[in-house]
Structure formats: C-alpha cells, structure tokens
Amino acid sequence: MEDMNLLQQTRRHFFGQCGLSLGSMSLLSLLGEAAPRATPRTAGPGHHPARARSVIYVFMAGGPSQLELFDNKPGLQQRHGQVVPQSLVQNRRFAFIPRDSKLLGTRRRFRRHGQSGAEISELLPHLAGIADDIAIVRSARTEAINHGPAKLFINTGSSRPGRPSMGAWVTYGIGSESRDLPGFVVLQTGRRGIRGGASLYSNGFLPPAHQGVALRSTGDPILDLTSPAGINPRRQGQAIEAINALNLRRLAATGDPEIAARIAAYEMAFRMQTSGPELVDLRSESRATLALYGAEPDQPSFARNCLLARRLVERGVRFVQLYHTDWDHHGGPGGNDIENGIEARCRETDQACAALVRDLKARGLLDSTLVVWGGEFGRTPMGEDKTPVGRDHHRDAFTIWLAGGGIKPGITFGSTDEFGFSIADNPVDVHDLQATILHLLGLDHTRLTYRFQGRDFRLTDVAGTVVRGLLA
C-alpha cells in the first residue's frame, strides 16, 4: 500500500510540475505536450497545407519488370536477340550479366486504356480498368544495383542501414490521427521475407515510437496482444498505471524520449487489445467488397492486406506499407522468371491493387490517401542466359505508379529510350519521389530534419526536388 501511495504521489507530482491536474488531461495527451515528437499519437500541422492525410505504399519487393508491364518498346522487339549497343552499356555495372548480353523483347501485348490512353500490359487487366485514376511514371531511377541497398535507399533515403524509414519520418513530422492503432503499420505477403527486414521500416535514430509496427497475418495482429489467463482489464490497467507512474518519474527527471515512447507503447498495447482484433475481423465487410478485392476474411493474402490497408487509413493511421515479395525475375528454375513468375505475381496482386483504388474512391478517401506502387528498381532490356528466361537488375530506368492524394490522374510521366535502357525525359530520382510524397503530406523535405551526431539529417539527404508535373 505504501508503494502504491508513493506511485500516486509521484504521478501527481509530475502532473503538478506540468501545471496539470489528473482530471484535466489523459496520459496520452500529456505526452503530446511534455514530449513533442517523441510519440506519433498526436497529429500536428506540417509546413504547408497538405493534399494527402495518409499514404498506402504498395511495395513490390524484388524489382518488377517495367518492360513486361508498363513500358512498351517496339524497338526492343525489333532488335530482339542482338547484342546490346555498347554505347549504352559503357561504364555501366550490372549485378549478373556481362556487357555484351543480348537484347530481349517481350511476348506480352500492350493496349491503350481509358481516356488517357495509357499503355498497360495484358498482365494487368484490372489496373487497366482504372487507367484514368493513376499516374504512371516511366522515368524513375535509383543509385543501387542490388536488392538490399536498393530497398534501403528507396525506403530510407540511404543505401546503408541505420537511417529512419519514410513512414517514421512522416509520423515524426505530422504524427497520426489514430489513437488506438500505431501511426505506421507494415503488412507482408509472399513466399520469402523481404531482404533488409525491419531496417526497411525502422525508426533509425528518430524516437523509437516512430518504428513501423509489423502486423501478423494470422492469430493476434501482434504477439502477446491477448491478456494471459486470469488477468482481467481492471488488473491490467492497474499494472500499466503503476509502471507508467515510475516511467513518468524518470521522464520528468531525464526528458529521455525513449521513456516517453515506452509509456506510449504500454498505452497503445492496452488499447490495441480492443482495436487490433476489431481491425483484422473482416466479417463486417460486405460480400461485394470482399469480392472486389478477391479476399477471404480469414485467409492470409495480399488481397486481404489491401483491404486491411483501407481499414487502417479509415481509422486514422498515417502510413501503411504493404510488402509483397518474389518479383526478382532472373529466370532459371525457381519460378521467378519473366514468363511464369511474373504472371503469378500479377495474378496475386493486380485485382487487389485496382480494388484498393476503386474502394478508396467510392468511399471518398482517395483524395486524401496517396497510393504508391513500385519496387526498388526495374529490369534490364537484356536477358539472362537462363531457361526460363529472365532479366537482371536495372537501376537506370523503372516504372512506378501513384494515385489519389493530390496526384494528377490519367497521365504518363517521363519516358525512356527505344530499348527502355535510359531515361529520355523527366527523370524522377528516388529522392525526388520521397520529396514529392512528403510535399503532398504538407511537409517540406528540406525542413523535416533531425539532429543526430552533430548533423541535421533528412530523408532526402542533400538532394530531392518535388516533381511538380505529377501534382494535380
């Protein structure tokens, strides 16, 4: 009893130091005042009016082949089987193929779709149905040629581990509108894990509360979310309050943001015991909605994750990232070629990606939700000498698409040369893409900084320009 009285006195002392009474503000509200930016729980204004309130980043891990999906190249078809012009590959590096590799055409047919006339492959029939709602960027490029560094670069702005991810920067900058769910959520599907793992959605050197939270596809969304047998909500609440009272005392003495993050984590875990199961229970969705996505309520799949992404942004989550793996189309045995492998990946994802955009639009959420689709790089116009055939990594030109959240719909931005090897106009570097995403959320990428080890760091390092041609 004496210990409990001490805890209560300590808690009152802390509130008193802040000029607050116990009845005037909840613990979470206190944290928003006492430790700004230590926790993403409180939404805040950006640097300028935002066009988007949330982001759903659909990450196709492995490097989808733009030449099979978005970038139709008749010239490449005509030169199929010829050695690549050496003027193109001079001083260029490739992950696996030699510089005298042969050009490889595609057997995929392309058609123009919608009023925009966007050229989209036969492998993406559902996406073709929303051609007028998306902006296709054919001129993306990156600096890394291998998966690990390239995934880090597009997610964190650096090819070395240890930097904060984009979702962490976003919640650090403008917080989250969700009180009962994390501000940055990660969902994963595919046969293999993502190269880079948690470093792709890490908080880096930002306060730990900005770490992306990976939700599991089966069972509890997060391990140990269910209370142990014999522990009722009242007893659990008392335990959390006692623990947080001690943490509050230490926070008042040190101002350490990790302590504030720990307090917020306890509170979030307590709230998620209700909000988590409700989030992943899709029985409240109509049959028509489930059919639109091609999702089964209790069956883990990419389609289910896309539907969960919509439910997350509905509940105020700021940044949702969906990873789907197995897009590494080198060819040979194993099913990752550009014949059977890419067909399988498109069957797994095409319907749900289009459904996500359609569903957001029907619910009035597309204008405030930015959807981004793409991988870490593209694939070479030259083939690998394997059966079935495949393509190598290509950093100099690849395709992404965006929708909603202030993006100009129904456009194709940028182009590549006759082989799809180099960018012909309107290049979009990775830092440009990051700057544009932050801009749409109301953040100036040059002002969103964090001092660490004596230097002001930012997501876009010392580069990046907002791509005005993509803005509505």
**Long-range residue pairs from 291-298, CB within 8 A, at least 24 positions apart, any chain:** 292/355, 292/358, 292/359, 293/351, 293/352, 293/355, 293/356, 293/359, 294/351, 294/352, 294/355, 295/352
pLDDT band per the 50, 70, 90 thresholds, residue 8: very low
Give me the chain's average pLDDT, please.
89
Would you say 388 and 334 are in contact if contact means Cβ atoms under 8 Å apart?
Answer: no
Task: Copy the structure tokens of residue 55.
Answer: 């982001």
pLDDT band per the 50, 70, 90 thresholds, residue 36: very low
pLDDT band per the 50, 70, 90 thresholds, residue 39: low
Q: Across-strand partners of 59?
A: 323, 374
Taking only the tens place, the pLDDT of each residue in 367-418 is: 999 999 999 999 999 999 999 999 999 999 999 999 999 999 999 999 999 9
DSSP 248-276: HHHHHHH--HHHHHHHHHHHHHHHHHHHH
Q: What is the rounded CA–CA span in Å between residue 121 and residue 89?
A: 27
Taking only the tens place, the pLDDT of each residue in 290-309 is: 999 999 998 999 999 999 99
Asked if pLDDT for residue 6 goes beyond 90, the answer is no
pLDDT band per the 50, 70, 90 thresholds, residue 31: very low
Asked if pLDDT for residue 15 goes beyond 60, the answer is no
pLDDT band per the 50, 70, 90 thresholds, residue 30: very low
Taking only the tens place, the pLDDT of each residue in 185-205 is: 999 999 888 888 999 999 999
Instruction: Report residue 56: phi and psi, to 5°.
Output: -120, 110
pLDDT at 220: 65
Asked if pLDDT for residue 256 goes beyond 60, the answer is yes
Taking only the tens place, the pLDDT of each residue in 130-166 is: 999 999 999 999 999 999 999 999 999 999 999 999 9
Nearest alpha carbon to residue 102 among 85, 121, 88, 124: 85
* Angle of helix 430-440 versus helix 147-156 axis, rounded to 10: 30
Task: Copy the structure tokens of residue 291.
Answer: 């059919």
Taking only the tens place, the pLDDT of each residue in 95-108 is: 999 999 999 999 99
pLDDT at 310: 98
Asked if pLDDT for residue 272 goes beyond 90, the answer is no
Q: How far apart are the first and last CA of the chain?
A: 62
pLDDT at 3: 39
Secondary structure letter of residue 142 according to DSSP: -
Would you say 38 and 209 are in contact if contact means Cβ atoms under 8 Å apart?
Answer: yes
Neighbours of 406 (CB within 10 A): 19
DSSP 372-424: EEE-S-EEEEEEES-SS-EEEEE-S-EEEEEESTTBPSSEEE-EE-TTSSSEE
Mean pLDDT of 439-447: 98
Would you say 407 and 133 are in contact if contact means Cβ atoms under 8 Å apart?
Answer: no
Q: What is the rounded CA–CA span in Å between residue 89 and residue 99?
A: 6
Mean pLDDT of 52-72: 98
pLDDT at 184: 97
H-type helices in 79-232, by residue range? 86-89, 125-128, 147-156, 166-174
Helix (H) or strand (E) holding 31, with range, is helix 27-34
Q: What is the rounded CA–CA span in Å between residue 247 and residue 259?
A: 6
- With b for 16 or more beta-carbon neighbours within 10 A and e for fewer, the 245-259 pattern comes to bebbbebbeeeebeb
pLDDT at 43: 82
pLDDT band per the 50, 70, 90 thresholds, residue 234: confident
455-457 and 450-452 as β-strands: parallel, antiparallel, unpaired? antiparallel
Asked if pLDDT for residue 236 goes beyond 70, the answer is yes
pLDDT band per the 50, 70, 90 thresholds, residue 41: low
Asked if pLDDT for residue 219 goes beyond 90, the answer is no
Domains of the chain are 40-229+283-470 (3.40.720.10)
Global model pTM greater than 0.75: yes
pLDDT at 22: 37
Taking only the tens place, the pLDDT of each residue in 302-339 is: 999 999 999 999 999 999 999 999 999 999 988 889 99
pLDDT at 40: 63
Tell me which of 333 and 75 has the higher pLDDT: 75
pLDDT at 10: 42
Asked if pLDDT for residue 12 goes beyond 80, the answer is no
The type of residue at 219 is: G
CA-CA-CA-CA dihedral for 271, 274, 280, 282, to nearest 10:
-140
